Amino acid sequence: MNDMHGNSPKTLRQELLLQRKEFAAKHNYREKQDCLIGHLNDFLATRGQALRSIAAYWPIQNEVDLRPTLLAWANSDSSRQISLPYARPDKHLDFYQWAEGDILIPSQHGVPEPNPDNTSRPQAMPDCILIPCVGWSSSMLNGKTHYWRLGYGGGYFDRTLAQLRKDQPQLICIGVGFDWQKLNDDQWAAQTHDEPLDLLLTETGLLG
């Protein structure tokens, strides 16, 4: 599905977002989405048993909506919590607890965010973060496959993950996308400031 070669990251993002919009309108989209969510459920039923705080995202621009799945996970155990990211002016993210029905505020990019002044929803320290991908790639290093995320270009997640991983080495970072979004080296290569993903969730399975 990808046929972009030698384009700038900005142009590549624009084309991938257009392709994602077209993909979401196809008749087999729901089937692929359900497969992806099924693999997330498998993760939550196994490794997710040890997790207490998962950072989700509010879906925009045809991103997969994982909220119902995560709410079911959280509601099954009172010790579990879901959080959403809040974009700080310094282009780092903080995470605040979120519950269904909370009033959110639009960020400068128009993304619904938790209100950091809401004292009933304190800041959270997630032990797993789910991050939507505009595109993704993989590379081999020392016999191990590493996965990389092409995002919207703001660098929020890369800055945040670099800091969180210093404070919390056991953090699990999972990229979320579809197989067709995989990019080859001619299209895009991760830069030195890009933070790797620990796992990648697609309709094929949980890679990593």
Residue 63 counted as an annotated binding residue: yes
State the pLDDT at residue 141: 81
State the pLDDT at residue 166: 93
190: burial class by Cβ within 10 Å (0-12, 13-18, 19+)?
Answer: buried
What mean pLDDT comes out for the span 135-141? 92
- With beta carbons less than 8 A apart as the criterion, state whether 159 and 193 touch: no
Q: Is the pLDDT confidence value at 58 over 60? A: yes
What mean pLDDT comes out for the span 57-75? 97
Q: Which residue reads 């032990």 in tokens?
A: 127
Q: Which strands, in side-by-side order, build the sheet including 128-132? A: 123-124, 93-98, 81-87, 53-55, 128-132, 172-176, 199-201, 206-207
Q: If pLDDT is split at 50, 70 and 90, which confidence band does 4 have? A: very low
State the pLDDT at residue 69: 97
Q: Is the pLDDT confidence value at 171 over 90? A: yes
- With beta carbons less than 8 A apart as the criterion, state whether 179 and 202 touch: yes
CATH of region 9-207: 3.40.50.10420
Is the C-alpha dihedral spanning 206, 175, 36, 75 positive or negative?
positive
State the pLDDT at residue 7: 62
- pLDDT, averaged across the chain: 93
Q: If pLDDT is split at 50, 70 and 90, which confidence band does 66 have? A: very high
- With beta carbons less than 8 A apart as the criterion, state whether 61 and 21 touch: yes
Segment 163-172 long-range contacts (CB within 8 Å, at least 24 positions apart):
163/92, 164/129, 165/195, 168/125, 168/127, 170/127, 171/126, 171/127, 171/128, 171/129, 171/198, 172/47, 172/51, 172/127, 172/128, 172/129, 172/198, 172/199
Locate the domains of the chain by residue range: 9-207
Q: Is the pLDDT confidence value at 148 over 70? A: yes
- DSSP conformation class of 75: H
State the pLDDT at residue 5: 46
pLDDT tens figures, 68-123: 999 999 999 999 999 999 999 999 999 999 999 999 999 988 899 999 999 999 99
> What's this model's pTM, rounded to 2 decimal places?
0.93
Give the span between the Cα atoms of 166 and 68, in whole angstroms. Answer: 31
Greater pLDDT, 177 or 192:
177
pLDDT above 70 covers a percentage of the chain that reads 97
Three-state SS at 203: coil
Alpha carbons within 13 angstroms on the beta-carbon side of residue 27 total: 0
Of 74, 83, 37, 38, the closest CA to residue 56 belongs to: 83
State the pLDDT at residue 191: 86
Q: Is the pLDDT confidence value at 23 over 60? A: yes
